[in-house]
């Protein structure tokens, strides 16, 4: 597989982004590599910033494809996302759910419309890379902070790698995906996110009892609970036994816990460059610089900014 030095990699990526912007009928796109940006971002004026790469860094062709998918994802926000429809005063958890749905909406739409060459391959590689990394990092998929990310993976039609879903999430996600098929912009994806959030905050009804529902004939020396134990629902923290409702081959997920609103910081749903340290240039990472210019960024440290 071909290798690129950083000084070759950056012009190749810039050319690819300009070609995709032309395919998407997006004008006046400028690409800059900056030390202060941890991932990638695009603003209202078409300015794209990508984390800097050392000139002598050795990059693979697979990394070029991943970065190209990165650039395509940001261009799709530029083309389809209406940031005026996002209420940034709302719960960070709701915003995380919306970002998951908006990301899936813009990518699914681009693939369906075949807006640029190999969109399905590039965007599929991007989400599969994210999902594969999450399968290594995440230990408890019943943690509410994982639900937006799980939804971001589940709602993309072009991904092949799946992550576990906590018991009870699949029907909610299926309905959200059905509504996403009918969505016609960011205002609609925001409404779907509000619906998903409301479902997650609704207490789960108790499951049917296991075992006999009436005591057997004759005197009872002890409690009359079914032999498998009490039938009361578990508490809000979901500390019961693991219950598997995961996609095939991805392990178990416990009964989900309800998110507690602003107390839950969701896992980022945006792609992360995740370069090895030896490939990065140094520099500052100022959130103020990003916010004042209106960049779309959502990593572990930054959230959507308009």
- Is the pLDDT confidence value at 171 over 50? yes
Confidence of residue 27 (pLDDT cuts 50, 70, 90): confident
* DSSP secondary structure letter of residue 138: -
φ, ψ at 40 (rounded to 5°): -140, 155
pLDDT of residue 289: 41
Averaged pLDDT, 155-164: 95
| Cβ-proximal residues to 195 (8 Å cutoff; 6+ apart), any chain | 176, 179
Query: Tens digit of pLDDT for each residue in 93-135?
Result: 999 999 999 999 999 999 999 998 889 999 999 999 999 999 9
In whole angstroms, what is the distance from residue 9 CA to residue 52 CA? 11
Sign of the C-alpha dihedral computed for residues 68, 70, 71 and 76 taken in this order: positive
Contact (CB, 8 A) for 24 and 116? yes
- The residue with tokens 């971001």 is 152
- Is the pLDDT confidence value at 236 over 80? no
Q: Which of 31-45, 63-77, 263-277 has the lowest mean pLDDT?
A: 263-277
Contact (CB, 8 A) for 77 and 42? yes
pLDDT of residue 273: 57
**What is the domain partition of the chain in residue ranges?**
3-203+237-293
Which residue from 299, 14, 40 is spatially nearest to 6, judged by alpha carbons?
14
Beta bridge partners, 243, equal 253
* DSSP secondary structure letter of residue 168: T
In whole angstroms, what is the distance from residue 116 CA to residue 113 CA? 9
pLDDT of residue 183: 97
pLDDT of residue 132: 94
Please, what is the average pLDDT of the chain? 77
The CA-based angle 284-28-55, given to 5 degrees, is 40
Confidence of residue 279 (pLDDT cuts 50, 70, 90): low
- Is the pLDDT confidence value at 22 over 50? yes
Q: Which of 83-92, 167-176, 278-287 has the lowest mean pLDDT?
A: 278-287
């Amino acid at each position: 597989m071909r290798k690129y030095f950083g000084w070759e990699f950056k012009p190749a990526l810039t050319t690819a982004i300009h070609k995709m912007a032309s395919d998407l009928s997006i004008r006046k796109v400028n690409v800059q590599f900056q030390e202060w940006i941890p991932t990638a971002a695009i603003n209202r004026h078409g300015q794209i910033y990508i984390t800097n790469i050392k000139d002598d860094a050795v990059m693979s062709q697979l990394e070029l494809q991943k970065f190209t998918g990165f650039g395509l994802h940001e261009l799709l926000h530029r083309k389809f996302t209406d940031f005026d429809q996002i209420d940034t005063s709302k719960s960070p958890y709701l915003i995380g759910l919306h970002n998951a749905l908006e990301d899936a909406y813009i990518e699914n739409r681009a693939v369906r419309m075949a807006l640029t060459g190999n969109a399905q391959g590039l965007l599929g590689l991007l989400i599969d890379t994210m999902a594969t990394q999450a399968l290594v990092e995440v230990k408890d998929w019943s943690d509410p902070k994982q639900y937006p990310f799980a939804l971001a993976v589940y709602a993309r039609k072009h991904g092949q790698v799946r992550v576990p879903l906590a018991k009870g999430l699949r029907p909610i996600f299926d309905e959200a995906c059905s509504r996403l098929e009918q969505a016609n912009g960011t205002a609609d994806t925001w409404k779907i996110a509000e619906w998903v959030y409301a479902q997650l905050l609704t207490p789960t009804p108790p499951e049917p009892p296991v075992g006999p529902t009436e005591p057997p004939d004759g005197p009872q020396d002890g409690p009359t609970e079914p032999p498998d134990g009490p039938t009361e629902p578990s508490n809000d923290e979901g500390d019961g036994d693991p219950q598997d409702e995961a996609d095939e081959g991805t392990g178990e997920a416990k009964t989900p816990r309800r998110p507690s609103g602003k107390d839950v910081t969701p896992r980022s749903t945006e792609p992360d460059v995740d370069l090895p340290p030896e490939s990065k240039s140094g520099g500052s990472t100022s959130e103020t610089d990003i916010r004042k210019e209106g960049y779309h960024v959502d990593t572990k440290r930054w959230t959507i900014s308009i």
